[in-house]
Amino acid sequence: MVKTENILSATQIKAEAARLGFSACGLAPAEPVAPLHAAFFKRWLGEGRQAGMAYMEGHEAKRLDPRLLVEGCRTVVSVALNYRPSTPIPDHKLQIAWYAYGQDYHDIMRQKLNSLLEALRHSTPEGTLQGRAFCDTAPVLERYWAWRCGLGWIGRHTQLVIPRAGSAFFLGELMLNLPADAYDAPFPTDRCGTCRRCIEACPTQALEEGRGLDARRCLSYLTIENRGGIPEEAAARMYPYFYGCDRCLRACPHLRSAPPATEPAFTPRPELRQMEEEDWMGLDVERYRMLFKGSAVKRAKYEGLIRNLKALRGNGDR
């Protein structure tokens, strides 16, 4: 008797992802990253556009082939989770990037992805489904896989754009050892057209047509990942952001139709919205811990936040 292979139901996966609150879900066969995308990534690294993010240079083979990252991988599931705030910090106040308003997205995404994986295990014969969940913590080209799984396209600002929703999404993946009964096609077209609003909105010209993002000039990199000082010319263009920078994301016309996030964990603490400029400039470590307990802002740490605020204050002529 021929043994039949267990096959995952794409419809079931997407239904379960929607039940867990994911905004979009798609599937693709596990295979090497398309040559054009792999070449662009290698060129980006070769030009030093990763700045001080040395981890981007490691595990290249695994980054370009999920089957090397997860042994036996047959299917990649890509999901997106909306984080557009319903009650953003008022525009006249100092700003932090939207993604950092609430609880650390790594934790929330990991919980939801593991719940999705567990639900799929319950629907397959015991011991047959193996997989791993990822969210921004492994050598995975997340935007590529979101595009490859049909969620959207990679815009001029280098972020994934979901039709009529924009780019305020966290991305995550499941890499599974079983094939699916249906896979999604890559998103068919780039819908940026002739629009260059994201490029024009970037205050440090970190976005270049056809060459992607240069992290050496990006305010998000300089105020979050960067462990050194902030160059004076970049500091002069920070205001009103002192942690991250959403200008390119917010400039995208596709964001206009985006609904607000429904995940309660991404709702900012009232105390965060109530902070005034003088409160930030006098921030002490106790208040920092209260405002950002369990937050992704811990990536920059208290010392990094104070560095950013000092850079902002030193360029108060804006």
Which residues have a catalytic role annotated?
A: 136
DSSP E strand stretches across the chain: 24-29, 75-82, 95-96, 131-134, 153-154, 160-161, 169-176, 207-208, 212-213, 241-243
Q: Could you give the CA distance from residue 239 to residue 261 in angstroms, rounded to a whole number?
A: 26
Contacts of 146 (CB under 8 A, 6+ apart): 26, 78, 80, 152, 160, 171
User: What is the C-alpha separation between 148 and 219, in angstroms, rounded?
Assistant: 28
CB atoms closer than 10 angstroms to residue 255: 18
- Could you give the CA distance from residue 103 to residue 126 in angstroms, rounded to a whole number? 34
How many residues are given for the chain? 318
Between CA 113 and CA 129 the distance in angstroms is 15
